[in-house]
């Protein structure tokens, strides 16, 4: 499974690969993909790392687990493939960007364009069984993605962490080392957004203002 990970991340995470939990995780993933339909396709499990190399990370957005419907998940949190209808959370993300930055709603929900600019779109759990949300929770993905966040937080300076909703906020506790910008709000899901916990958070302008203040190129959202 590690051969699917970009070399820049393999070098940083190599100590994890020999740990008992990761060996068990690899066996579990292999079995699940052999026995059932799982998402994303196996070659895209680590797309978040492969589109955003370790040295290029500027922003981290934490999701929970991949979309479990056909042709949606492709390894990036909140993102869907070209031509796929926007899920409700992604639609609300684009609405907030429009309000915050005056940008038009894009035609595609494929966020590779963000990842290629240094946005790590990391789900806490990187795989899921078809039509069974959260089905691969508790199988050690959480430990591995904790390790990813820990390495980003400890080895980088001036990263923007966007923590949306209670799950991401708990996951993001790893990132509070005083050298980064932590942006927290409610989740962009309709339930949270309709309660006034998402819209008007202005995370996208805040992120870009911060990146520019530390000499980094802003993200074209």
Tell me the catalytic residues: 65
Neighbour tally for 12: CB within 10 Å? 18
Cα(47)–Cα(111) distance, rounded to whole angstroms? 11
| DSSP secondary structure letter of residue 62 | E
Cα(112)–Cα(115) distance, rounded to whole angstroms? 5
Cα(39)–Cα(33) distance, rounded to whole angstroms? 9
Separation in Å, CA 93 to CA 44, 54, 90: 23, 25, 5
> What are 112's two structure tokens?
């590779």
> What are 90's two structure tokens?
């992604």
> What are 221's two structure tokens?
């959202």
Bridge partners for 184 per DSSP:
163
Cα(76)–Cα(33) distance, rounded to whole angstroms? 19
| Alpha carbon of residue 121 to chain centroid | 3
């Amino acid at each position: 499974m590690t051969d699917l990970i970009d070399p820049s991340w393999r070098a940083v995470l190599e100590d994890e690969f020999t740990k008992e939990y990761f060996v068990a995780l690899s066996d579990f993933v292999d079995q699940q993909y052999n026995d059932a339909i799982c998402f994303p396709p196996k070659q895209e499990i680590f797309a978040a790392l492969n589109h955003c190399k370790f040295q290029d990370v500027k922003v981290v957005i934490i999701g929970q687990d991949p979309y479990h419907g056909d042709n949606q998940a492709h390894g990036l949190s909140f993102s869907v493939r070209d031509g796929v209808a926007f899920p409700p959370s992604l639609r609300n993300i684009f609405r907030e960007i429009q309000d915050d930055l005056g940008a038009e709603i894009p035609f595609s929900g494929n966020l590779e364009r963000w990842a290629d600019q240094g946005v790590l779109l990391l789900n806490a759990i990187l795989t899921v069984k078809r039509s069974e949300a959260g089905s691969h929770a508790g199988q050690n993905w959480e430990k591995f993605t904790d390790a990813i966040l820990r390495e980003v937080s400890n080895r980088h300076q001036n990263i923007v962490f966007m923590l949306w909703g209670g799950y991401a906020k708990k996951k993001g506790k790893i990132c509070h080392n005083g050298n980064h910008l932590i942006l927290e709000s409610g989740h962009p899901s309709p339930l949270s957004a309709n309660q006034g916990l998402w819209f008007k958070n202005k995370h996208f302008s805040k992120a870009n203002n911060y990146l520019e203040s530390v000499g980094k190129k802003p993200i074209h959202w």
